[in-house]
Homo-oligomer: A and B are copies of this chain.
Amino acid sequence: MIQNNELKRYQKKYDYSYTFGNFPTFELLKCKSECAEKILYHSLLKDDILEKLTAECSRRHIELLHSDRIVEKIRDKESCILVGVFRKYEQQLVHNTNHVVLVNPSDSGNLGTILRTCTGFGIHDIAVIEPAVDLFAPKVIRASMGSIFHARVRYYESFDIYYKEFGSERMLYPFMLKGARQLGQLNINRESPFSLIFGNEASGLDDSFLQIGSSVLIQHSNEIDSLNLSMAVGIALFEFTKDAFKMR
């Protein structure tokens, strides 16, 4: 149990992190309540939110604490009046599902947006190849709008380790400016699961990925250097999953 006087501004080395704001905190309670340690709120929290929160915490036996002092001490933005404290956790990716693989992502806002978009398109397994931004940084959690708690995310020391575990069972699609085929012109193999692979924001994937699976290019005008990373992931996911989301 984390003591209240131990709670400090987030650092990567801690074994716990925070959800800042209503939406991510309720997602924590809904999806990962077993990791929630306590919920802290500020006097400015509205009564109807507090009522809902009290019911959720009581049902799950999670401590709910009113402390302006601690909230003000640990929050990242002055507007934040609700904080969840949770233990970090590790997860396994599932075989035979579709994956997104992020090689060396370095921007926490991008990682969070990608988690949100993956959740939106039904992808729950995300591999992250190190070095990479800290998954549990509050900025990631905020940008994910709490979708982080819907996802299974696992960090790997190298792409090879990921490849050894999952490479043979699936179609691999590295997204690169040198990609051999254009997104939108692909014949997507629907028989086996896929992994969509994306490189770092600044450097992309190196040429070794041209040898892996079926490389893909998202064609754009030469007036920009490249699409934003999370944008590229979102466009690719839309194209790869649109048949699954056909109007029912």
Contacts and interface: CB of A to CB of B under 8 A. Distances in A.
Interface of A: 113, 116-117, 119-122, 145, 147, 150, 182-185, 218-221, 223-225, 227-228, 230-231, 234-235, 238-239, 242, 245-247
A182 B246 CA distance: 8
Given A219-B245, A238-B218, A238-B238, A227 B117 contact: yes
Contacts of A228: 113, 116-117, 230
Contacts of A122: 221
Contacts of A119: 221, 223-224
A224 B120 contact: yes
Nearest to A121: B220
A247 B242 CA distance: 22
Nearest to A230: B231
A122 B221 CA distance: 6
B223 A147 contact: yes
Nearest to A31: B223
B182 A220 contact: no
Contacts of A239: 238
Nearest to A236: B238
B224 A147 contact: yes
A212 B235 CA distance: 26
Contacts of A224: 116, 119-120, 145, 147
Given A185-B247, A246-B182, A247-B182, A234 B227 contact: yes
Contacts of A238: 183-184, 218, 235, 238-239
A116 B229 CA distance: 12
Contacts of A145: 224-225
Contacts of A147: 223-224
3 smallest A-B Cβ distances: which pairs?
Answer: A120-B220, A219-B245, A184-B242
Nearest to A23: B225
Given A122-B221, A185-B247, 19 more contacts: A116-B224, A119-B224, A120-B224, A121-B220, A121-B221, A145-B225, A150-B223, A182-B246, A182-B247, A184-B238, A184-B242, A184-B246, A219-B242, A219-B245, A219-B246, A227-B234, A234-B235, A235-B238, A238-B238
Nearest to A150: B223
Nearest to A228: B113
